[in-house]
Amino acid sequence: MFSNRHRHGFYPLAQSSPKTRVIRSALGVVLLLILLYIVGSWTLDRFGIGTSTKQTAVALAIEKRGVTQVSLDGSDFTQAETDLKLYSSDRVKTGPNSSATLTFFDGTMLRLAERTDLSILKSDLSTKESTLSVELHDGTLWILTPTRAAFSGAIVRTIETSALTFALPSRTEAVLAPRAVTVFAADGLGIQASIPRVALPIIIGEGQQFSLPESASVKEDLYQYRSPLDSRTLLSSFVEESRSLVALRESGQDIVMGSGALTGGDTNAILTVTNPANDSTVLSATVKVEGQVSRKVASVRINGYLARIDDAKRTFSQELTLPDEDEVSITVEALDEQGNVLEKTLRRLTRDRKPPAPPAFTVPAKTGETYRTQQTELVIRGSAPQDAIGIVVNDYRLQLFKPESGEWSYLASTKLANFQEGENIFTAYAINAGGYQSDPVTLTIILGGEGEGVIARPATQTGAAVSSAKEVTEAELPQNAPLLPGTLTVTGPTPGAAHTATGSSLLLEGTVPKETASVWVNGYKLRLYTAGKTFWNYIADVQYGTLKKGMNTYVINARNAEGKILDTLTYTVTY
């Protein structure tokens, strides 16, 4: 009765036109080509293929102590291995008692001190202008760049921090922190430090240092934070270690950096101390304790401090700061894994704490004399005592002084801002290997007036010239209650009244009232401070004897022109 009006089955859809199919295929090909171009361009640019700029690897060398970590392409931090190749966006962190060195394509070396955090931004070698750039997040760097002859191409070297951007010229040797730099050597005008919202960069030349306080304003004269190189910086163990590494590399010797480049066998004796010799006399403020141990020894303890052991050579070494005493005892103990003493050795040392004799002025006049000149630039010369390793003139340590010569010179020039119209007083003292200073001597030079030559000589006693007047000590000044309490502050390294040190050197800095004429720290008058400044700084350093293991107390006094105390503050540093 009913019939099927519809057939059951599959029916083909309407076919698209040939024109539509061609358009879709063409669009697919175009999109594929664009994708291949983007990926190919990125790859070529990344590896420098077919372009004039090539990204180069940065060689990482790990010193065999502590732990150094790396983060590759933003990944999690892992323990680093020596001879690792790093590229842009990679990051390096050194831990306590750990150091590492980065070497770039042009020979530039960056040595990271302990607790330093650094990222590599660029390491690009180009036929036009090569680029080397890193970002220092925290810590301290020692930097050495090659001479112009060593790398002939154009190159831009920069180090960025949260506060500053440093541009490094050829032949640079410097120590750099996020807000400070100390320049030992540099071609041209020196290192340029660019500061946000400041139009012109600050120039820090050879033999100068710059420290930007947290409280600094971009509206003030930032050159007030630049000063001559502090002589105590040269005694830093970090600087000496860095220079020694370069000297070893240049001599072609292998350096033990954790790769087992130097190997050594076992020793039959449980403990052998090779340095220092017993009953010897020490001239310096530190001594390196070295020796060998057998495989039975798990650790070495020197006066309570654990020394570094080279597992391959079974040798140990530890730089020990000596107490300021005539007789010093050093106890070296070899311990097993349970901490039991396997063997103990005692060394007795004598410290030569005698300060050196003072230097003497010889040209253009003698010590204590007053000389008049019309010259805006002249060379001051003098003689040095036999045991002097350094000469300091007006708080600047002479970089070209050679102890074996027994002579020194200092350039006074109006262009260098260390010589001015009117009276100029030049104060010099010598430093010996123990860090002790001689009594100061002075020479007065008057620029201007009429005539040329000596116009006054010091008073004589029994025919001998008196070299200089005795400086006033803080004990001879008034010990009154503070006139302006609360106006003296410490802003760094930790604001307030206390700090825990992680390195062997630190910079104390702070503010004082504008009425301040002098600042004293533990009885020492800050020579770089000038009356009217509202800021001050002081370097505490193990090598200079101003920082020791344990708790260090620094009594800081701000005094007015009459020598009265404006304010006083006690700051403690635990090291």
pLDDT, average across residues 302-324: 86
Mean pLDDT of the chain: 83
Classify burial at 418, counting beta carbons within 10 Å of its beta carbon; exposed 0-12, middle 13-18, buried 19 or more.
Answer: middle
What are the pLDDT digits (tens) for 218-264? Answer: 788 888 999 887 755 555 678 877 887 776 665 444 444 433 333 33
**Sole residue written with tokens 């045991």:** 387
For 47, the enclosing helix (H) or strand (E) is helix 18-47
What pLDDT score does 469 carry? 42
Give me the domains of the chain, ranges plus CATH numbers: 53-241 (2.60.120.1440), 271-351 (2.60.40.10), 360-471 (2.60.40.10), 475-574 (2.60.40.10)
What are the pLDDT digits (tens) for 402-457? Answer: 888 889 999 999 998 899 988 899 999 998 877 788 999 999 999 887 778 888 88
Provide the percentage of residues in the chain whose pLDDT is more than 70. 85
What are the pLDDT digits (tens) for 62-121? Answer: 875 668 899 998 899 998 887 789 999 999 999 887 889 999 988 899 999 989 999 999
pLDDT, average across residues 204-212: 90
- To the question of pTM greater than 0.85 for the whole model, the response is no
**Sole residue written with tokens 């590759």:** 72
d(CA 466, CA 367): 8
What are the pLDDT digits (tens) for 216-228? Answer: 887 888 889 998 8
CB 439, CB 358: distance < 8 Å:
yes
What are the pLDDT digits (tens) for 348-374? Answer: 888 777 888 999 999 999 999 999 998
d(CA 177, CA 492): 13
d(CA 136, CA 277): 42
Confidence of residue 138 (pLDDT cuts 50, 70, 90): very high
Classify burial at 496, counting beta carbons within 10 Å of its beta carbon; exposed 0-12, middle 13-18, buried 19 or more.
Answer: exposed
pLDDT, average across residues 539-548: 80
Confidence of residue 461 (pLDDT cuts 50, 70, 90): very low
Residue 32 to residues 21, 37, 41, 448, Cα–Cα distance (Å): 17, 9, 14, 81
Confidence of residue 190 (pLDDT cuts 50, 70, 90): very high
The token pair at 438 is 């001689």
What pLDDT score does 41 carry? 62
Closest CA to 282 of 240, 231, 319, 314: 319
d(CA 204, CA 351): 38
